[in-house]
Structure 1
Amino acid sequence: MDIDTDHRTDEPLRFAYWVPNVSGGLVTSTIEQRTDWGYDYNVRLARTAEANGFDYALSQIRYMASYGADHQHEATSFSLALGLATERLKVIAAVHPGLWQPAVLAKWIATADHLTGGRIAVNVVSGWLKDEFTSMGEPWLEHDERYRRTNEFIRVLREIWTAGDGGAEFRGDFYRVHGFDLKPKPVEVPGRPHPEIFQGGNSTAARRNGGTVSDWYFSNGKDYDGFSEQVHEVLGHAATAPRLRPVRFGLNGFMIARDAEREAHETLREIIAKANRPAVEGFRAAVQQAGNATGDGRGMWADSEFDDLVQYNDGFRTRLIGTPEQIADRAIGYKRRGANLLLLGFLHFQEEVEYFGAKVLPIIREKEAELARARQHATV
């Protein structure tokens, strides 16, 4: 079902990629993954992505080895490094409330925004890995409390970035600021009231935050119906919230684009057949405990099967798997259901990002033009 919304689905679909700043690639499998978590590789990849139609690069947040990710680079510093190494690519740094103070992050983002010419954004992640908090001596809050803290965290960021004379004022249950005068403010970018704030999750609390305080709502991998259901609910919250701009929607997907459909699906079967079962099962136990911690059982990964979790953000469920034509049709289907951005992962990042730019993206743009003409014709 198409969705008639006010959040700019008439604009071109945007694309982001998962920065492989964490070892092990984007699938928990022993299949060959021609990718690397190091800096030099990621600089080359960021420049390749920038030249092949990508708008954003999202650095993952991991602080400890877990479930096949043995090494990791910190997300904010890595994002800034990639921003400085590129010219147009927008970089999104993932952060955890509870491990960052929002006023400190607001200052960091403002500085990074000036260094990159207005190309920094933040993805506020409420957290699912309890050990990351407790191992650093930080308290672990229950699910809905984590999202309530995230709500305040985002509101504090926005207040600090947009406050006038006299500085920022905020008094909440988790954070308080008084007369905090940030100078310099982030870069003034036309159409952007402040650096973009992304936030994800599938739960009721996450959807409420997406509609009321976030600029972007990220969904884990979903089929058409699952994605549409989240869009409707988030838009319902947004309809009654005081917002500076309409909420926009990003969707996670793992892309396997091949010249032949059979080759793409054989690659998927091999990925799953070679899954690192202990790592996937450990991840499954941890995240499904977190997802089921919600009162209504609608948390992230609550209904994910083993095969889904081989790509740890349910990327296979989006079904961006097949020929360029098939993937373009699928992408347009999500756009018609409200997607503004697709967040993509790949098996072999460098060559598959190039393949996307050469073979897949041109077809998507052609189909977008056809869709625009059809809408224009329908209104005449």
Structure 2
Amino acid sequence: MTTESVSDEITFAYWVPNVSGGLVTSDIEQRTSWDYDYNVKLAQTAENNGFEYALSQVRYEASYGAEFQHESTSFSLALLLATQRLKVIAAVHPGLWQPAVLAKLGATADQLSGGRFAVNVVSGWFKDEFTHLGEPWLEHDERYRRSAEFLQVLRKIWTEDDVDFRGDFYRIHDFTLKPKPLNTVDRPNPELFQGGNSLAARRNGGRYSDWYFSNGKDFDGVTEQIVDVRASAREVGREVKVGLNGFIIARDTEKEARDTLREIVEKANKPAVEGFRSAVQQAGNSTADKTGMWADSTFEDLVQYNDGFRTGLIGTPEQIAERIAAYRKRGVDLILGGFLHFQEEIEYFGEKVLPLVREIEASERSADHTLVGV
């Protein structure tokens, strides 16, 4: 199998902790906070340590250790206005948003931030968030069909006037949005991300989004997805980039990193993890081929609720840098990192890990140029 496209340099993003409880469902100490002041400082630290993107999570109902949440689009705009270069991605759910309304919000956020706003379309896994709000719950592939229309409507409204769209889920009639988002030659409109693991998610990622987000995966798992996503993109004459989730435990020694992982799992909040498991595994298993998110996740995987341990970014700076470089060679364009102690670990990553990644990339580029010249 070939993934065909390899970036010169891999890009880094981090999960915004705008949801309480941290990124692992464990009673281990997590030096993080969901409040605004903490997150402003964290965003500024991240952009000064080599991170180009931040992803604001979206949860609507208190549950599974995430009792408090800041809404993703408003929180993203707040972080954009507190930073200079960082691009902030707001996660949103079709079915709870009307795409033209989000397009209006996105255009304003993009204008106010100088073109740094982006959207991650989440097709939905938490049934209670829909039914408790009186919204219909669609089965898996229908949710992704709705997301496909949602992505198309956003793109059209951000780039065209007098928009008409007649789909099964959305009807837009002669609609013009002004001002539109900032447009440049290399960035025509806010970037659109599509998450998921299933074949329906891969199809949407290839056909309609700029980026495809994968849950945590090992080398074989992410390569399979990249091949599928880029094949879908080629069918319609497009290109798509790929982001991979990974929980990063970088320590001075491998033993320290492995001991930290062991403690996280040993101190897992078992009722919360099992509650999350029961809510999400129906999502993956509801697909015909059982390829959806969390379909084969173990208890240990779900302690980090986006399978972040599976990516294997656990060890010394040298080990992690080599593994990140190996993912890049397989076609990964972005690593979306989660951390136990966000502030200090993002600083550690920027100081210890990222320079090693750049050294490996520069060495590989030099070797490639040498081979070309032979």
- Give the TM bin, normalised by the shorter chain: over 0.9
| Residue aligning to 1:359 | 352
5 Å-filtered alignment, 1:88-237, equals 88-164=85-161, 167-237=162-232
The alignment partner of 1:284 has SS state of: helix
Determine if contact 1:2/1:336 at 8 Å carries over to the other structure.
Answer: no
Question: Residues 11-46 of structure 1, C-alpha deviation per residue, up to 9 Å, x if partnerless?
Answer: 321100000000000000000000000000000000
Which of 45, 53, 63 is 2:42 aligned to? Answer: 45
Runs of 4+ aligned structure 1 residues displaced above 2 Å come to: 1-5, 377-380
Question: Which residue of the other structure, out of 277, 298, 302, is the alignment partner of 2:295?
Answer: 302
Q: Which amino acid aligns with 2:3?
A: I
User: What's the Cα RMSD here?
Assistant: 1.0
Shift of 1:379: 2.3
Aligned length: 373
Question: Are 2:23 and 1:26 equivalent residues in the alignment?
Answer: yes
The alpha-carbon deviation at position 65 of structure 1 amounts to 1.1
Give distance in 2, aligned partners of 1:74 and 1:367: 38
Q: In the alignment, is the contact (CA less than 8 A) between 1:253 and 1:316 conserved in 2?
A: yes
Displacement, 1:231?
0.3
Offset from partner CA, 1:256-291 (integer Å, 9 cap, x none): 000111000000000000000000011111111111
Q: Using the alignment, how far apart are the partners of 1:240 and 1:359 within structure 2?
A: 41
Query: Which of 325, 328, 338 matches 2:318?
Result: 325
Q: What secondary structure, in the 3-state scheme, does the structure 2 residue paired with 1:160 have?
A: helix
Percent identity over the alignment? 70
The aligned residue for residue 73 of structure 1 is 70
Q: Which amino acid aligns with 2:35?
A: G
Match of 2:253 in 1: 260
CA distance in 2, matches of 1:256, 1:362: 17
Check the 8 A contact 2:76/2:89 in 1, yes or no. yes
Contact kept in structure 2, 1:28 and 1:276, CA below 8 Å: yes
Residue 4 of structure 1 corresponds to which residue in structure 2?
Answer: 4
Gaps of 5+ in 2: none
- Given that 1:10 and 1:372 are in contact with CA atoms closer than 8 Å, whether structure 2 keeps it comes out as no
Residues 118 and 189 of structure 1 are in contact (CA less than 8 Å); yes or no, is this contact kept in structure 2? no
Contact 2:3 2:230 in 1 (8 A): no
> 1:178 deviation in Å?
1.5
Q: Distance in 2 between matches of 1:221 and 1:282?
A: 20
In 1: Cα distance, 2:40 partner to 2:190 partner: 22
2:115 partner letter: G
Whole-angstrom CA distance in 1 between matches of 2:60 and 2:237: 34
- Name the CA distance, whole Å, in 2 between partners of 1:302 and 1:211: 21
Q: Distance in 1 between matches of 2:309 and 2:7?
A: 26
Q: Which moved more, 1:180-189 or 1:350-359?
A: 180-189
Deviates more, 1:103-112 or 1:188-197: 188-197
Contact 2:254 2:315 in 1 (8 A): yes
- CA deviation after TM superposition for structure 1 residue 378, in Å: 2.6
Whole-angstrom distance in 2 between the partners of 1:2 and 1:336: 10
Query: In 2, Cα distance between the equivalents of 1:379 and 1:143?
Result: 47
- Rounded to whole Å, the distance in 1 between the matches of 2:170 and 2:352 is 48
Task: Please report how far the alpha carbon of residue 2 of structure 1 lies from its aligned counterpart in structure 2 after TM superposition.
Answer: 6.3
Tell me, in whole angstroms, the C-alpha distance in 2 between the residues paired with 1:189 and 1:119. Answer: 12
The whole-number CA distance in structure 2 between the counterparts of 1:373 and 1:190 is: 29
Letter in 1 for 2:43: A
In the aligned structure 1, how far is the partner of 2:94 from the partner of 2:287? 19
Tell me the amino acid that sits aligned with residue 257 of structure 2: A
Query: Which residue identity lines up with residue 129 of structure 2 in the other structure?
Result: E
Q: CA deviation at 1:295?
A: 1.1
Q: Give the partner amino acid of 1:171.
A: R
Counterpart of 2:88 in 1: which secondary structure? Answer: strand
Letter in 1 for 2:58: I
- 1:369 corresponds to which residue? 362
In 1, the alpha carbon distance for the partners of 2:206 and 2:7 equals: 20
> Matches of residues 327-342 of structure 1 in structure 2 within 5 Å?
327-342=320-335
Counterpart-to-counterpart distance in 1, 2:2 and 2:124:
32
Distance apart, 1:242 and its partner CA: 4.2
